[in-house]
Amino acid sequence: MSDEIAPQPPARLCYACGNANEHGLHMQFRLEGDRTICDYEPRPFQQGYPGRMHGGVVSALLDEAMGYAVYYAREWGATARLNIRFRRPVPMDERLRAEAWIVKNRGRLIELRAELKAADGALLAEADGTFMKLDRSFAGEMSELAQRAGRTDAPEVVT
């Protein structure tokens, strides 16, 4: 019997999706067709003006939804450009839905769109962004970390 302790998976501290970040958004995603979806319940500390979500939190929701669309496309990428259009104030008292999808996957860049909608389907904010694919070395490290954290859907990187 060995006295060696098995290595523990790394803590999931991502601000947007990490379940180990006590200050994070704790977003959870699923794939529906070609759309990455997150149903989200606002928290009081995310308020900007009274009763309205802070624009920075709205931006983070849309950015992370696009990041997961890249992940579900079996790629690793990082935000290179993010453009947000705020259509309506985002209420704090109802469930929201963030949706993202890939518009174009070409070379080192992936172009995406995302929307944040109210419970009744009204468009609250929308974004378009460009993600840059991570180089093979760093992408390989990310896949290894994801697998150690228990992810079975991590993009496979051939180095």
Q: What is the CATH number of the domain that holds 133?
A: 3.10.129.10
98, 114 contact by CB (below 8 A): yes
- Does the structure show a pLDDT above 60 at 8? no
Give the gyration radius of the chain's Cα atoms: 17
Active site residue 63: yes
Residue 35 within any structural domain of the chain: yes
Categorize the per-residue pLDDT at 158 as very low, low, confident or very high, splitting at 50, 70 and 90. Answer: low
pLDDT tens for 51-81 read: 999 999 999 999 999 999 999 999 999 999 9
Q: Does residue 25 belong to any structural domain of this protein?
A: no
Q: Is 121 a member of any domain?
A: yes
pLDDT digits (tens, 9 = 90+) for 70-121: 999 999 999 999 999 999 999 999 999 999 999 999 999 999 999 999 999 9
In a domain, 11, yes or no: no
Statement: residue 13 has pLDDT above 90:
no
Residue 115 counted as domain residue: yes
Q: Per the domain annotation, does 101 fall within a domain?
A: yes
Q: How far apart are CA 25 and CA 29, in angstroms?
A: 12
User: What pTM was computed for the model?
Assistant: 0.89
For residue 136, being part of any structural domain is answered with yes
Q: Could you give the number of structural domains in the chain?
A: 1
Structural domain harbouring 34 = 30-148
Question: Helices (H), strands (E): how many in the chain?
Answer: 2, 6
**Is 123 domain-assigned?**
yes
Question: Catalytic one among 39, 63, 120, 128?
Answer: 63
